[in-house]
Chains A and B, each alone.
Chain A
C-alpha cells in the first residue's frame, strides 16, 4: 500500500514542479499524435467521402476492409513500418527509422482507417435525397461534397476523437518504429512501459495521469463543441 501512496505522492510532485523530462515527453506525444491525427483527417475524410458517395463494383468489400482497418493492431502496423523503413528495406535510404517522423507515419496508418470508417458511416447516414437537393440548388459537385461534409460535421468530430484517442494511447508501433530514445523519440506510452519495468512507479504513475488528463481534456473540448452544435 505504501508503494502506491508513495508513488502517487511523488507523481504529483513531478507534475507540479513541471519536471523538464516529463514535460518534453508530453509535448512530443502531443505533437506526434496530433500531426498523425491531422494527416489521418485529410486522407480519411476525403477517401471516406469518396467511398460513401460513389457507387462502384466491390464497394462492400472496400467498406468492410476499411472497417477491419479500424481495429488494426498497432504492433502489426509497427512491424510493417519497421520492415519498410529498415536499412535494407524499400524506404531504408530515407534513414528515418527510430525518429519521431517514423512514429507519425505509423500512427497515421493506425488512425486513418478509424477516421475513414466513421466518415463512410456518417456520410451514408445523410439522407440520399440531400445530394439531389444540393445539386438542385445549383451547387457544383465540389460544392455539394463540401456541403455534405459540413452536414456530417458532428459525426466527423467523433471520428477525430476516436482517431486521436487511438494513437495517443497506442504503444506497439511507437516503441517499434520510434525506439524509445531518451529526449528524442520517447513518448508518454513508451516511457510509461519503460519506467514500470524499471520499478520507477512514481514516474510511471505521473506519466499515466498526464495521459489520462490529455485524453480527457481533448475529448472534453470536442464534446463541448458537439453538444453546443446539437443544442442550437
Chain B
C-alpha cells in the first residue's frame, strides 16, 4: 500500500478559535477512511481543508509525494479530487448538465462527456432522470446526482461530507448500498465524514474519531470500537463489542458466523461466505460458571475475565473468549459468582441480541 494523501500539522483558526488541529494523517491508496465525531468536531473543516478550499490554514498537504501549493499547483490538485457535500448543491440545469459540470470545467470533448455522464448516471441508477431539471428531484435522487457528478471526473480521491445525513432511512439505505458497491468496484480512495457509526462500519477500512478539531483515535473499525483510546471515543463509538466474521452456514433463519474460529449464531438472511459485522451490547451478555442446558441462549462461549471495572451501579467485565467480549453485570452477580480477574466463566447471549451489519 502506498500513501496517496498525507497531511502534516494542519491547523485552522477562525476568530481566535482553533477549529482544526491535526498533527498527522495518512491515507492509503484505495482505502476508505471514515471520520466520525459529533457535530462541530471539525470533520467538515478537515475535509474542506484537505481539498485546499480554505485560503487560510497552516500545515502541509502532500498528494502523491508532492506538496500541494508548492510542488503541485492547487488548481491541478483540485482537478484530481472531488467533493460531495451534505446538501446536493446542484445547479439549476438538467441532471445531465449537472453531472457534466466537472468535465466541462476541464474542457473535455463532447463525446467523452456524453459517455462519462451516461456511465455515471447508470451507475447510480438515475439514467432515466437525465433530462429532468435538477430542481424537480427528490432528496435521494438529488444526492445521487451529486455523487454521480463527483464520480464523473474520475477523481483520484473523493471527499464526502455527511452525504447521507439529510436523507430518510430507506433512501439512505439504498444509497449506502450503491455507494459501497461503487467504491468497491472503482477502487476510489475516499474520506467521508459521518456521525453514524454503523455507516462508518459498513463503508470504511479505517475509522478516525474526531472531537474539538483533533483526531483522537484512528484505526480499523473493530479495533477503535473494541478498544477506544479514551472516555470520549468510548462514549461516542458506543460500548458494543464489534466482531468481524464470515457466514459459514444457515438453517431455518439462523446463520452461523465464524469469528476468529468460533461459531456465533445470529438471526437473519445472509448468504454463505458473506462478510458480516456483529454488534453485541454488553447488557445482553449473561455470565455464569456452569451454563444450564435449558437456557434459550444460542451462544455460549467460555472465556477468561481480563478486567472488572466498577461503573457505579454495575460492573463492566471484559472477557477474552478467543475474541473480546464485554458484559455488564450487577454487584450482586459479581458476589454470587465470585468473579475476579483471571477466573473462567461462560458467557451466553441470544442469537436475537446480536445486531448484524453487512460488510
Contacts and interface: CB of A to CB of B under 8 A. Distances in A.
Interface stretch (B98-106, B267-275, B293-301): B98-106
A129 B105 CA distance: 18
Interface in B76-132: 78-79, 81-83, 85, 87, 89, 91-92, 94, 101-102, 105-106
B51 interface: yes
Contact of B135 (A129, A130, A232): A232
B53 A136 contact: yes
B153 A127 contact: no
Interface string A125-155: 0010110111111111001000100110110
Contacts, number: 56
Interface in B176-222: none
A153 B153 CA distance: 26
B87 A138 contact: no
Q: How large is the interface on B (under 10, 10 to 19, 20 to 34, 35 or more residues)?
A: 20 to 34
A136 B133 contact: no
B159 interface: yes
A108 B206 CA distance: 60
B89 A127 contact: yes
Contact of B105 (A130, A143, A151, A229): A143
Interface residues of A, number: 20
Interface of B: 48, 51, 53, 75, 78-79, 81-83, 85, 87, 89, 91-92, 94, 101-102, 105-106, 133, 135-136, 149-150, 153, 159
Contact of B79 (A133, A138, A151, A232): A138
Contacts of A143: 105
Interface of A: 127, 129-130, 132-140, 143, 147, 150-151, 153-154, 229, 232
Contacts of A136: 51, 53, 78, 81-83, 159
Contacts of B83: 132-133, 136-137
Contact of B78 (A138, A151, A153, A154): A138
A138 B89 contact: no
Contacts of A153: 92
B89 A133 contact: yes
Contacts of B82: 136-138
Nearest to B104: A143
A133 B85 contact: yes
